[in-house]
A = this chain, B = another copy of it.
Amino acid sequence: MTDSKKSRRASGKRERLAAAAAEVLHAQGVAQTTLADIAQAAEVPVGNVYYYFKTKDELVEAAIDAHARTLGGMIAALDELPTPEERLKALLAGWVEQRELTARFGCPTGTLASELDKRADGLDRSVAAVMQTLLDWAEQQFRTMGRADARELAVALIASYQGISLLTNTFRDPGLMTTEARRLERWIDSLG
């Protein structure tokens, strides 16, 4: 039976596991999280996890994918907005909305990128792809705004987000996110 078949099947346990993994890994970090933790969060017996994922790494990969899909959904929603300025500001608004979670656990993409980068397996490339997606989208917005330096601006924007997420998390201060988002908003306005 192929994986895709498995995932099409009834109970959706595979999805439940991936979702639980995404959440727990975000909250505890990859290294600090045991399979038992994830299994418990998904209310699945540990042994059963291996029916769906051959290794812990595969489960981590699934969590990254789940995260990528969430991000994809978010981007799709943003794309409904008429102008790039509005889209970018809506992105900022989303970040502010998440500030409490960020203060507790950091940005899910960023913390994963930071932790997985230290590892030899291919997982780091998966997170990089997620980050790339976000970067490309931002670049597209700046380009639509007519900026020749769209890539550089995109990098600056995402870097600011990743950095402020880290500080917000380090100091457990959601206010940092709010202030920085406001600053970035003004910055976007100034680029027009």
A interface, CB within 8 angstroms of B: 27-32, 105-106, 110-111, 113-115, 117-119, 124, 127-128, 131-132, 135, 152, 155-156, 158-164, 166-167, 169-171, 176, 179-180, 183
Contacts and interface: CB of A to CB of B under 8 A. Distances in A.
Contact of A29 (B118, B159, B164, B167): B118
Copies of this chain per assembly: 4
Contact of A166 (B28, B119, B159, B183): B159
Contacts of A161: 163
B169 A163 contact: no
A99 to B, nearest CB: 14
Nearest to A168: B159
Chain A interface main SS type: helix
A128 B159 contact: no
Contact of A31 (B32, B124, B159): B32
B159 A117 contact: no
Contacts of A183: 152, 156
A114 B117 contact: no
8 contacts: A28-B118, A29-B118, A115-B115, A131-B167, A155-B164, A156-B180, A160-B163, A163-B164
B166 A156 contact: no
In the A-B complex, the 9 residue pairs with the smallest Cβ-Cβ separation, listed nearest first, are: A163-B163, A159-B163, A31-B31, A162-B163, A29-B118, A159-B164, A114-B114, A113-B170, A162-B166
A155 B131 contact: no
A72 B72 CA distance: 42
Residue among A113, A135, A162, A183 with the highest chain B CB neighbour number at 10 A: A162
Nearest to A176: B155
B169 A158 contact: no
Nearest to A32: B118
